[in-house]
Amino acid sequence: MGFLDKLLGREPLQQQRPQQPPPPTGEPYAVPSPRGGASTEDERAIARYTYLLRTADPEDIEKVHAEAFAKLTPEQRQMVLQRLTDDLPASERPRSDQPADLARSATRAEISRPGYLQGAFGGGRGGGGMGMGGMIAGSMLGTIAGVVVGSALADMMLVGYDSSPEAHEAGDANGDFGGF
């Protein structure tokens, strides 16, 4: 090491260490959002989805999940399949990426562990995923929520939503459904 290297605090080339890549974030399905976060419509879609998960009959939840998963791309269905396969015991895992199989496993997991779907597919509020016609907050959760709340079946199950805690939290109370 030369005098200037010592004076400037530099290490010789053979002692320099390679840069380590940053550690994983723990959000496997999060996609960075160019807008910097969720919009009000995004939050409302997730709030409606949360309300449906909390209040609807399991059979109806399975139907809207099957309808939603049928609208996902094959790659998105593979992501759902992989997450459910990673998280669930063998007896509860979906047999394939077919919408009915995914819906059955997702619904059963949510019923037995309330909040599971939000935890599994949420990825945090700072991400975004492709949903019906645009970016939806959260990641895969936002994608699923966007497709679910866009269905006619889900629309029938939203009776009472405007007075729910989810509507209040999303600023969607008193019948202000923001175009949904």
Give the pLDDT confidence of 65-101 residue by residue, as tens digits.
999 999 999 999 999 999 999 999 999 999 999 999 9
| Contact between residue 169 and residue 48 where contact means Cβ atoms under 8 Å apart | no
Give the pLDDT confidence score for residue 26 in this predicted structure.
45
Residues 6+ apart with CB under 8 A from 128: 31, 32, 33, 34, 35, 38, 42, 135, 136, 137, 138, 139, 142
* Percentage of the residues of the chain whose pLDDT score is greater than 70: 61
The one-character DSSP state at 57 is: -
Tokens of 132: 């019906």
Tokens of 54: 């909390």
pLDDT at 152 over 70: no
- How many whole angstroms separate alpha carbon 63 and alpha carbon 69? 10
The tally of domains found in the chain comes to: 1
H helix intervals, the chain: 3-8, 40-55, 58-71, 74-87, 99-112, 116-121, 140-149, 152-157, 165-169
Is 147 among the domain residues? yes
Is 62 among the domain residues? yes
Is 163 among the domain residues? yes
Is 10 among the domain residues? no
Give the pLDDT confidence score for residue 44 in this predicted structure.
79
Is 114 among the domain residues? yes
pLDDT interval class at 58 (50, 70, 90): very high
Give the pLDDT confidence score for residue 134 in this predicted structure.
32
Q: What is the mean pLDDT of residues 139-151?
A: 79
Beta bridge partners of 128: 137
Is 6 among the domain residues? no
Neighbour-count burial for 32-51, b at 16+ CB within 10 Å, e otherwise: ebeeeebbebbbbbbbbbbb
Q: Give per-residue pLDDT as tens, 5-31.
A: 555 566 555 554 555 544 444 444 433
Give the pLDDT confidence score for residue 11 in this predicted structure.
59
- CA-nearest of 110, 95, 178 to 141 is 110
- CA-nearest of 137, 175, 176 to 49 is 137
What is the extent of the structural domain holding 135? 28-169
Q: What is the pTM of this model?
A: 0.61
Is 2 among the domain residues? no
